[in-house]
Structure 1
Amino acid sequence: MTRPDLPYRPCAGVMLVNRDGRVFVGQRLDSVLEAWQMPQGGIDPGEDPYQAALRELGEETGVRPHHVELIAEAPEELTYDLPEEMIGVVWNGKWRGQRQRWFLFRFTGEDHHIDIRTPEPEFRAWRWADPAELPDIIVGFKVDLYRRLLEIFAEPLARNGGAA
């Protein structure tokens, strides 16, 4: 059962694709699951979603804006609901899930430009994944959102060597 009385947390997400068409994924520090996810995080009040995406990318991966190029932006917000047992635990119980603006960026840097040991680290490990792998390696409650992202970004991913 979801909590329709709670709002969705505004969030920006980044699908970062390298020269080989593979996507950056990280394992969260606060989870013992073998699940991986793409960089994402809250949009501050008054913050532009694109700027939030670049900020979150830097905060979570150490990747600087001059090492990315915008390929595409999802034309719609995507949402997911937290599992019932997580509502009230995550984000101090203020949100039922997230509504996310997603951006597809080309990574123009080298792997050594990625450093997950940031001042407030979120990931314990990272790797490049095949786009088609994403729904199989994400936590269960985000699978539909990741499948939708692969549909939305299918054409630009194919153009950039990362056919899903």
Structure 2
Amino acid sequence: MTAQIDLSLYRPNVGVALFHPTDGRVWLGMRHKQEPPYNWQLPQGGVDEGEDLETAARRELYEETGVKSAQLLGRTEGWLTYDYPPEFMGTKRARGYLGQKQVWFAFRFTGDEGEIDLAAHGDIEFDAWRWGALDETPELIVPFKRGVYERMVAAFSGFARTA
């Protein structure tokens, strides 16, 4: 029997896998001023009180990448959770959260790469970006988020294939 997770102890969050318009790679951002090896991730962020999850995903995508031109492909079902490690004493843990609960969205980028602007919002999340393989993302992310990334990759692997 699996123990139920108290989702109220997890900060609501959305993640975005932005797929290249033609070849199925995903957009990867190098986290601002974070040293390797685990300094790449996909866009993600918190959900505002009362905010629709897809709206939150589009807002976070724009704030972190400047991208507005994106077609919805799909989303994960239910919440995917991860716990903050004990040494993670950031503001989110201080507010009483054990970790984050996420819904992931897959979008196809429909714009021109000139639209990508890492300073679009003013609060810089990423120093650089590149297109990469979806299945490489779990190895690039900090270990405590890896399980969620593996489940996201499994859910979105069909979008990574080209026709």
Scaled by the length of structure 1, what TM-score is found? 0.87
3-state secondary structure, aligned to 1:76 = coil
Residue matched to 2:36:
33
Residue matched to 1:15:
17
Please list, as runs of the form range in 1=range in 2, the aligned pairs for 1:140-151 lying within 5 A after superposition: 140-151=143-154
- Extract unaligned runs of 5+ from structure 2: 1-5
Residue matched to 2:3:
none
**Closer/same/farther in 2, CA of residues 106 and 62 from structure 1, 3 Å limit:** same
Residue matched to 1:93:
94
Residue matched to 1:130:
133
Tell me how far apart the structure 2 counterparts of residues 105 and 10 of structure 1 sit (CA, whole Å): 20
- Residue deviations 1:72-101 (CA, integer Å, cap 9, x gap): 111121111111100x32426122211011
Shift of 1:116: 0.6
**Closer/same/farther in 2, CA of residues 89 and 50 from structure 1, 3 Å limit:** same
Q: Name the stretch that deviates more: 47-56 or 118-127.
A: 118-127
Residue matched to 1:77:
79
Shift of 1:149: 0.6
User: 8 Å contact 1:72–1:156 — kept in the other structure?
Assistant: no
Equivalenced residues, count:
154
User: 8 Å contact 1:12–1:102 — kept in the other structure?
Assistant: yes
3-state secondary structure, aligned to 2:40 = coil
Scaled by the length of structure 2, what TM-score is found? 0.87
The AA in structure 2 aligned to 1:52 is A
Tell me how far apart the structure 1 counterparts of residues 131 and 9 of structure 2 sit (CA, whole Å): 33
The AA in structure 2 aligned to 1:37 is Q
The AA in structure 1 aligned to 2:81 is T
Tell me how far apart the structure 1 counterparts of residues 75 and 83 of structure 2 sit (CA, whole Å): 22
Shift of 1:31: 2.2
Which of 49, 54, 60 aligns to 2:58? It is 54
**Closer/same/farther in 2, CA of residues 93 and 58 from structure 1, 3 Å limit:** same
Shift of 1:154: 2.0
Tell me how far apart the structure 2 counterparts of residues 97 and 29 of structure 1 sit (CA, whole Å): 21
1:117 paired with 2:119, answer yes
Tell me how far apart the structure 2 counterparts of residues 141 and 33 of structure 1 sit (CA, whole Å): 15
Residue matched to 2:104:
102
Shift of 1:12: 1.0
Percent identity of equivalent pairs: 43
1:45 paired with 2:49, answer yes
- Extract unaligned runs of 5+ from structure 1: none
RMSD: 1.9
User: 8 Å contact 2:13–2:102 — kept in the other structure?
Assistant: yes
